[in-house]
Structure 1
Amino acid sequence: MAFDGLFIHSLLTDLSDQLLEGRLSKIYQPFNSDLVLVFRKNRKNQQLLISANPEYPRLYLTKESFSNPDVAPLFVMVLRKYLEGSVLKGISQVGLSRIVNFSFSNRNELGDEMDLVLSVELMGRHSNVILYDAGSGKIIDLLKRINPDENRARLLLPKATYELPPLTPGINGFTLTETEFDQLQKKYPEASDLAKEMDGLDGDDRKELTGYLKDDYSYESFKTFYSHFSRPKAYVLLTPKHKRRIYTYLPYHLDMTLESSDSDLNKALDDFYSYQANRDWVKQRSQQVERVVKNETKKLSKKLKKLEAQLDSAENSEDLRISGELLTAYLNQVKPGMEKIDLPNYYEENRPMTIKLDPALSPQRNAQKYFKRYKKMRDSIKHVTEQIEITESTLHYLDSVQTEIDNAEPEDVEAIKEELIAQGYLKQEQKRRRRPKLTEKSLHKFKLNSGKTVLVGKNNLQNDWLTLKKADKNYYWFHVKNIPGSHCILEDTHPTESDIQEAAEIAAYFSKAKNSAHVPVDYIQVKRIKKPNGAKPGFVIYTGQKSIEVTPEAEEIMAKKA
């Protein structure tokens, strides 16, 4: 169930109690499509997340902590000017559409009272957040400015008059009387036809309402269905294809399995969207990093293919030496001006071998040319082999950076950028934040069933610091075998088999193999770990390790996070 009209109706019954008459104290825009409004009410702060993300537009109260840009975007500066310090006087839904209006009361520079509306339109790729003056109806500013040639239905620019988007009219089930229902029942003898006429329902809601009416085509059954949306709870269900969906009621007529339920709808929404939103926020912040990693990986992959082809040619260059020897042995048969000659190859039972010649060179010079090419190819083997090793090592490093991004949280991206700046892949910013000091707080921390602690690095700089400086030399180090991943330290000198199993599962989860089964994980005491001189961040060597195969389960592992 998406944020359709009925879902929003349910949510607003909960939001109104918690936010109305609250004072808007802070406004942030941590990501391109997301706003965070902090309301102060009854000595408590409430964070309202508003997202105009085209894939999953939404709004709800969140406990998520956000790090914000050094420079506020223009829209946030406008919102702060007009709304910061104002009181929320009303929250209303436009009919049963996916439009929510937040009405504020504030005073301008002259002290005159102003009524302002922040209109949140949760409409897929057309989602937007628009601030306008309730008195004049003029748009002050909006999250997404739309050029007139992109949207001819209405003008979405500052100073334009705010107009509602084109809405499909339907019947409001909350205000429908029994008499009106009886008339509609005669008009639509099929329950599914009546369900199609109702406003604010998505496909799943229509199926569920149809199911209710097929069981009992009566006004009482109809009102029973709608009553669910006045007493909202949260139910997370799994489809037959194991996709998670969230509802404000428990559907009985849909082919789904109940996964969990919660009486707090906002908390359930925060949990439901946390992973997907996290990945989206990481993606927004890491675009520059991912672009650099992908471009460098692409260039190095091409270089590696060329080097391997060059090495193959060098290692199979014996034909050049043989050609030179045969020309020298049968020099009297080689005439000036010849372009090729067939000579008996005494290395292969005198079978004829065709040798190409440069007609501009003498027979002796042609033979010398083959010997020089052979020597050059043989001499290049060592250099090419070294270059292949360097290229493979760099590709492995970039692969580890990509794994860091895949496992990152939004606040981790800056540390990954710092790492790439230090390695010369990104340019130093003229004005940038001071590099945060590495502490235990910057790491992932897990508590095993035994109560022991496992620390996990989030990037290669943290991996080096954790393994080579922070960890006790007698603690145990875990890492997936021959696959990019985080360094994990089990803070114990005599771990049990159960401790080793759990720590290995954590190491497997924070690696490129997080979605795989039977992942091999090496473990060894920290004192056996060495870092070669000049090695890239995160790269270490070790001997004498033991290994264990595990299958990481995300829910079990994240439940242990401290």
Structure 2
Amino acid sequence: MAFDGLFIHSLLKDLSPTLIGGRLSKIYQPFEQDLVLVFRKDRKNYPLLISANAQYPRMYLTDQSISNPDKAPTFVMVLRKYLEGSVLQSIEQVGLDRIINFHFSNRNELGDQVKLVLSVELMGRHSNVILYNQQDNHIIDLLKRINPDENRARILLPKAKYELPPLKPGLNGLTMTEDEFNEEKAQNSDAASLVKKMSGLDRDDRQELIGYLEDEYSYDTFSTFFKQFENPKGFVLKTPRNKRKIFPYLPYHLELEKESSDPDLNHALDEFYQYQATRDWVKQRAGRVERVVKNEQKKLSKKIVKLKKQLDLAENSEGYRIRGEILNAHLNEVKPGMSKISLPNYYENNAPIEIKLDPALSPARNAQKYFTRYKKLRDSIKHVNEQIKIAEENLAYFDSIQTAIDNADPQDIDQINDELENQGYIRKPKKNVRRKKITERNLNKFKLSSGKTVLVGKNNYQNDWLTLKKANKTDYWFHVKNMPGSHVILRDDNPSDDDIREAAEIAAFFSKGKLSAHVQVDYVQDKRVKKPNGAKPGFVIYTGQNSIEVTPEEKEVLSKKID
């Protein structure tokens, strides 16, 4: 189910007692559509993630380490001015709609008490976060400023008066009494008709409630369904097409398979959205880099096709030499002004061959033209082969960049951007930005069943640092065969067969072949891995390797990951 009204009601059962009375100590906006509010209470920090992402708007306490950008956006600066250090007085949901109001108490510059509301609207593409003054209802600022011609229902700009969005009226099942239920039942003999009038339910909730009432159309059954939202837990289920969904209760009437359960709904939400959120944040940060990569891949692919056509033409250039020789043998038969002539081809049992002519040239010059064309094409073969090799190497390089983006965490994108700047594919900024040095903390780290450690680079700079500087010469190095992937180091000089297989599965997962059933992985001691002079980042050569074929399983690989 999505973040509908009932889900938000369940979530606030956990959130409210945890956050109310807490002091808002930090505010930052790590990504365009996402805010993190850090509340301090009872000597503990509680980071609240609020996302106005159009596809999956959400809100929950998170354990994820989300970096604070160096430069704060305007909205964050406003929030810090008005809310930082203020106390959260209450959290309330507007009916069973997807609007949550955080009520804060703070003092202005004159020392007067000010009541402020941070309204979180989790409403699909209309999602927003709005700060307004409770006394006069005027908007101070908001995450998404909307021009009046884009939203005629209300004005969403600073200084405008805050108004609720148009809300669809409905019945509140959480507060409905038995008499009210019986009255509605009398008017709606069909359970589906009653459910249609309920507020705060998404499609899954409606189907589940209909299932309950079809079993027994009674107030007891009705209230049993809604009581589940008063004591929520986190249940992750899968559809027949393997789409994952999260619920605050365990549905019985939907075609879903239970994957996991968690007594803490916030924790379940954090884990449920972790992968998708990371991919979304990477996409936001990597937008510029990905455009460069895709443009270069497109240009290089077209160039390779064109060069291979040239090579094919050059390798099949014997026809030009043959036409030149036949013309030389029959110069007396060529008359001035002719545009073509048919002559016997003594290479093909004197079968006729048609030869095009330039009417402005003499017979001898026409023959020489064919010999010149033949020589030019034959001489170009070496050059074209070299150009194809360079283009294919560059294409493989950009494939490795794309693989790095696919495996990246948001904080890794800066290093990928730096790499493309240093390679001349992205213009460097005028001001020199000091980047952090690569350390082991930047890498992905895994612990094998035997307890041995595996380190994984997530981009070409990390790969070079891991293989050429961090690894011991006796450690074992892993890499997928003939495709882009991460450099993987097994910190051991005498690994067992199980160690090798597990490390190879990790290398296969962090590669372009992660979705393949059979992935070939090379492995060799690190001392046999060398970097050629002038090679691009991430490119190495190695000798004396062994190979193993593995099938990377996401769950099995990620279960070995350590923070």
Structures share fold, TM-score greater than 0.5 = yes
Task: Tell me the residue number matched to 1:440.
Answer: 440
Task: Tell me the residue number matched to 1:136.
Answer: 136
Q: Which amino acid aligns with 1:275?
A: Y
Task: Tell me the residue number matched to 1:529.
Answer: 529
CA RMSD in angstroms, aligned pairs only? 1.1
CA distance in 1, matches of 2:95, 2:433: 46
Q: Does 1:538 align with 2:542?
A: no
SS of 2:347 mapped into structure 1: helix
Task: Tell me the residue number matched to 1:15.
Answer: 15
Task: Tell me the residue number matched to 1:154.
Answer: 154
Task: Tell me the residue number matched to 1:225.
Answer: 225
SS of 1:431 mapped into structure 2: coil
The verdict on how the C-alpha distance between 1:514 and 1:28 changes in structure 2, with shifts beyond 3 A counting, is same
SS of 1:246 mapped into structure 2: strand
Shift of 1:364: 1.6
Task: Tell me the residue number matched to 1:406.
Answer: 406
Shift of 1:21: 1.1
Q: Does 1:205 align with 2:205?
A: yes
Shift of 1:404: 0.5
CA distance in 1, matches of 2:432, 2:144: 27
Q: Which amino acid aligns with 1:439?
A: T
Q: Which amino acid aligns with 1:506?
A: I
1:109-140: CA deviations, max 9, x gaps? 11111111111110001111111111111111
CA distance in 2, matches of 1:332, 1:512: 64
1:166-223: CA deviations, max 9, x gaps? 1110111121111111111211122222111111111111122222222222222222
Q: Which amino acid aligns with 1:62?
A: T
Shift of 1:306: 0.9
Once the two structures are overlaid, the 10-residue window that deviates more, 345-354 or 384-393, is: 345-354
1:66-123: CA deviations, max 9, x gaps? 1233221111111111111111111000000000000111111111111111111100
Q: Does 1:344 align with 2:344?
A: yes
CA distance in 1, matches of 2:113, 2:330: 107
Shift of 1:273: 0.2
Q: Which amino acid aligns with 1:69?
A: P
Q: Does 1:384 align with 2:384?
A: yes
CA distance in 2, matches of 1:19, 1:68: 21
Shift of 1:542: 2.2
1:443-470: CA deviations, max 9, x gaps? 1111100011111111111112211222
Task: Tell me the residue number matched to 2:261.
Answer: 261
Task: Tell me the residue number matched to 2:469.
Answer: 469
CA distance in 1, matches of 2:203, 2:113: 43
Q: Which amino acid aligns with 1:192?
A: A
Task: Tell me the residue number matched to 1:77.
Answer: 77
1:332-367: CA deviations, max 9, x gaps? 112222111112111111111111111111112112
Task: Tell me the residue number matched to 1:375.
Answer: 375
Once the two structures are overlaid, the 10-residue window that deviates more, 32-41 or 212-221, is: 212-221
Task: Tell me the residue number matched to 2:236.
Answer: 236
SS of 1:347 mapped into structure 2: coil
Task: Tell me the residue number matched to 1:116.
Answer: 116
CA distance in 1, matches of 2:203, 2:360: 81
CA distance in 2, matches of 1:107, 1:435: 39
CA distance in 2, matches of 1:535, 1:340: 52
TM-score, structure 1 normalization: 0.98
TM-score, structure 2 normalization: 0.98
Q: Which amino acid aligns with 1:74?
A: T
Shift of 1:411: 0.7
- Percent same amino acid at aligned positions? 70
Task: Tell me the residue number matched to 1:275.
Answer: 275
Shift of 1:371: 1.3
CA distance in 1, matches of 2:240, 2:361: 76
Task: Tell me the residue number matched to 1:58.
Answer: 58
Shift of 1:432: 4.9
1:288-333: CA deviations, max 9, x gaps? 0000000011111111111111111111111111111112121111
CA distance in 1, matches of 2:340, 2:252: 85
SS of 2:383 mapped into structure 1: helix
Task: Tell me the residue number matched to 1:487.
Answer: 487
Task: Tell me the residue number matched to 2:393.
Answer: 393
Q: Which amino acid aligns with 1:546?
A: N
Task: Tell me the residue number matched to 2:505.
Answer: 505
Once the two structures are overlaid, the 10-residue window that deviates more, 252-261 or 294-303, is: 252-261
Q: Which amino acid aligns with 1:437?
A: K
Q: Which amino acid aligns with 2:474?
A: N
Shift of 1:438: 2.0
Q: Which amino acid aligns with 1:498?
A: D
CA distance in 1, matches of 2:63, 2:175: 35
CA distance in 2, matches of 1:418, 1:264: 40
Task: Tell me the residue number matched to 2:4.
Answer: 4
CA distance in 2, matches of 1:561, 1:536: 29
CA distance in 1, matches of 2:360, 2:49: 79
SS of 1:348 mapped into structure 2: coil
Task: Tell me the residue number matched to 1:167.
Answer: 167
SS of 2:13 mapped into structure 1: helix
- Runs of 4 or more consecutive aligned structure 1 residues displaced over 4 Å after TM superposition: none
Once the two structures are overlaid, the 10-residue window that deviates more, 112-121 or 286-295, is: 112-121
Mapping of residues 73-112 of structure 1, within 5 Å: 73-112=73-112
Shift of 1:531: 2.2
CA distance in 2, matches of 1:254, 1:369: 77
